[in-house]
Copies of this chain bind each other. A is one copy, B any other.
């Protein structure tokens, strides 16, 4: 079976035909929610407003604040008895963002995740170890249902307890695992510290998602764990995982355009950027029944990869997330994304897997401090050697982000560890 779902193999024409039909149906469904009914009426929008894919631009955008204002369930478009699941963002400030799912939504979500796993070689005869937290976070149950849908032996091992994770991998011959990138780096370092070779693990494939990370971090994960690591993109507003996923080419993530209509726009003007240019990703659900979302502003910055994918799939690819519009740090007037810092750090073979970016204010001037762990075998007592490395890293960072940060090399295992999403930026200003 080449494709898990025939839609994977659709031509551009087939994709766009389906998109137009599904967008029209989505408009009809969405207007059952007052927020869309009002906006559509104001703007004179009906399903007939959509004659081509580009007509999506006529529609209003939806923001995270819109979702918050419709808390807890005012965006639902089916009776409450037809809703069978909810997930929610952690909601550190204000109301959480809540997504409601019908059974049909759960089924199509699971199908999409299964399609992703199948695309990179996961098969029903494999063991899939799901090493992320479950609960309201969509990553855990999303991959769990997808792997089960594919027919894998799905092991809900959850996060943490590193030694036990390795034991389960070995004893059950785990071939594929879902791991948050920062935990994958941590696991890889732990394996090395335990004196084990990656070949001692049966692991062949790691799916990494939920945190933006760099190509350099991926290569580290692959080397440390002896695997192919595939980047997964999702957000709860678009179900969760299963929105876009790398194929075995590992060059950009295919967005499943039969289920989502993506646009990349200038975050200020909301006009489409030129093909291949970086902008904010906007997405519309095409198959959701319980809570369709029109032109959701993800705040994620990426670009379309414009050449044809050698894998043959016609679903367009996006580049790995270059940052969240909201994550952007402004230091001394310069825009900096944490991913730029990570990319530079991971180029240095002496540098370990853990780092933190600290923002400080000194004499009313913002300063950037980068603390980074050195690998155990590269640690030397000679301060001059370490200072030389600090200078080299600072200079490379300066050429990337245009300001010179204070680089501080710290010992292996001295920065706070995380078995969940890592906190890479600490703002100590004020």
Contacts and interface: CB of A to CB of B under 8 A. Distances in A.
Contacts of A158: 133-136
A153 interface: yes
Interface stretch (A76-84, A181-189, A397-405): A76-84
A60 interface: no
Contact of A148 (B84, B140, B151, B172): B84
A125 interface: yes
A171 interface: yes
Interface in A150-176: 151-158, 168, 171-172
Q: Could you say which of A140, A152, A172 has the most chain B C-beta atoms within 10 Å of its C-beta?
A: A172
A198 interface: no
A125 B81 contact: yes
A84 B135 CA distance: 20
Nearest to A134: B134
B156 A134 contact: yes
Nearest to A154: B85
Contacts of A83: 153
A73 interface: yes
B124 A81 contact: yes
A172 B85 CA distance: 12
Nearest to A126: B81
A72 interface: yes
Contact of A80 (B85, B103, B125, B154): B125
A44 B71 CA distance: 65
A296 B133 CA distance: 32
Count of chain copies? 2
A334 interface: no
A162 to B, nearest CB: 15
A156 to B, nearest CB: 5
A155 to B, nearest CB: 5
A87 interface: yes
A405 B83 CA distance: 52
Contacts of A201: none
Interface in A303-353: none
A83 B151 CA distance: 8
Contacts of A148: 84-85, 106
Q: Could you say which of A71, A85, A140 has the most chain B C-beta atoms within 10 Å of its C-beta?
A: A85
A125 to B, nearest CB: 4
A85 B81 CA distance: 29
Given A135-B134, A158-B134, A158-B135, A172 B72 contact: yes
A426 interface: no
Given A140-B134, A156-B134, A172 B84 contact: no
B153 A80 contact: yes
Contacts of A152: 84
A157 B172 contact: no
A247 interface: no
A141 interface: yes
Given A86-B153, A86-B154, A135-B157, 14 more contacts: A72-B171, A72-B172, A80-B125, A80-B153, A81-B151, A83-B153, A84-B152, A85-B148, A85-B156, A100-B153, A103-B151, A135-B156, A136-B158, A141-B156
13 contacts: A81-B124, A81-B125, A83-B153, A84-B151, A84-B153, A85-B155, A86-B172, A88-B168, A100-B153, A133-B158, A134-B158, A135-B157, A136-B157
Interface of A: 71-73, 80-81, 83-88, 100, 103, 106, 124-125, 133-136, 140-141, 148, 151-158, 168, 171-172
